[in-house]
Structure 1
């Protein structure tokens, strides 16, 4: 599973690097920031980099808390970018309006509180339950709730684009993104899975990221095709 994590990290890093020239011109800086944050988040999900970063932060799993908030930021930026790409104004308003920002605030506060109340745990990339299983479970579930929420908000717009878009590459992008968000939403079921299903859970996490990254890359390709047609 580590190999899949490194492949995901490499893809996110390459996508961030290729956006640097346009970002320096003041174009699409959001995309470069998004891919860079994705690369950092994936890196923190790999054992050796995680332990190194966490040791620098005191060895009390603050790297895991940092990873949680990276994921929340990525989920929001990604969802807003996708909503704009598919002209989904309703989805964008839901994400950035009072309800969406309130959901983010509640999840953020709950994440910090549950992290503090579950007590100090030995530095570990996946975290291990301490004496208080309740707060540990809540902390883990909150990390999945907000990303899944953004996916639920976007899915109707993506499914409409999949059915109605006249551009094949845009339909492909919508399909890849929808698949990624469906897998992401299914991660809420992790607490119901036995411990022996950990490899399945890891595969779901990384495959959802890969679907979303390839979907974003396909949007970029679709934009290039549209610009060439406009110039022709």
Structure 2
């Protein structure tokens, strides 16, 4: 899985660097922010980098909690940007309105409470397993993992219908390809929630699902950006999924 960790970080870094020129010019700053957060999340998910950063923070696995919050922020921005880009007003209101606010608050609370209740002594990077005493601590670890997947699954489930509609529409090929990639990322993100409650023997599968979700989202956003470049060059507004330049 170390190869997958570094591969995901490499893809995120590449996508981020490609977006720097537009960000400097003030174009699509939200997408740049999304890719920056995604890169930070991917960096913290690399075991060696996680261990180094957590050591600086005291070695109590606070880095794991910070990673969850960063993931939530990234998913929130992704949800808002994609629903605006696809003109999915109903889905946008579900994420930005009170349902989404309550979901975010409850998921943050669940992550924080389960983290504080766990005994993380001697746990490896990312809290993949716990060496604390008792089955209760093992159960808390499972709940903590599920809580960390809950908000991404919530937002991704909302995004599935408009993304599927865009992928099956008569929009330009790049827009449909981008929608399909993000759709696949959303599906994997939704699956990550039930998989996180699976037995410990499924740990490898959970990590694969998580990284597949990240790669789907990041590569899809990169394709959307490329479609925007073509639209700006050709003057064809239909070549991009949105005219929103934030």
| Structures share fold, TM-score greater than 0.5 | yes
Q: Structure 1 residue 40 and structure 2 residue 28: aligned?
A: no
Instruction: Structure 1: state its 5+ residue gaps.
Output: none
Aligned partner of 1:5 in structure 2 is 5
Whether the aligned pair in 1 keeps the contact of 2:175 and 2:224 (CA below 8 Å) is yes
Most deviating of 195-204 and 172-181: 195-204
Counterpart Cα distance in 1 of 2:169 and 2:190: 24
Matches within 5 A, 1:1-232: 1-127=1-127, 128-129=129-130, 130-131=132-133, 132-230=137-235
Cα displacement (A) at 1:199? 2.1
Contact 2:50–2:126 (CA under 8 A) maintained in structure 1 = no
User: Which ranges of 4 or more aligned residues in structure 1 deviate by more than 3 Å?
Assistant: 191-194
**Matched residue count:** 232
Pick 1 or 2: higher relative contact order, CA cutoff 8 A, min separation 6.
2
- Whole-Å separation in 2 of the counterparts to 1:78 and 1:47: 25
What value does the CA root-mean-square deviation take over the aligned residues? Answer: 1.7
Over residues 159-199 of structure 1, what are the superposed CA-to-partner deviations in whole Å (9 max), with x where a residue is unaligned?
Answer: 11112232111111111111111111111222453433322
TM-score (norm 1): 0.93
Deviation per CA, 1:116-169, whole angstroms, max 9, x where unpaired? Answer: 111343252231233323322221111011001011111111111112232111
- Where 1:19 maps in the other structure, the secondary structure is helix
Q: Which moved more, 1:64-73 or 1:186-195?
A: 186-195
Measure, in 2, the Cα distance between the counterparts of 1:70 and 1:16.
16
Segments of 5+ residues of structure 2 without an aligned counterpart are: 238-246
Question: Deviation of residue 5 (structure 1)?
Answer: 1.3
CA distance in structure 2 between the aligned counterparts of 1:19 and 1:161, rounded to whole angstroms: 23
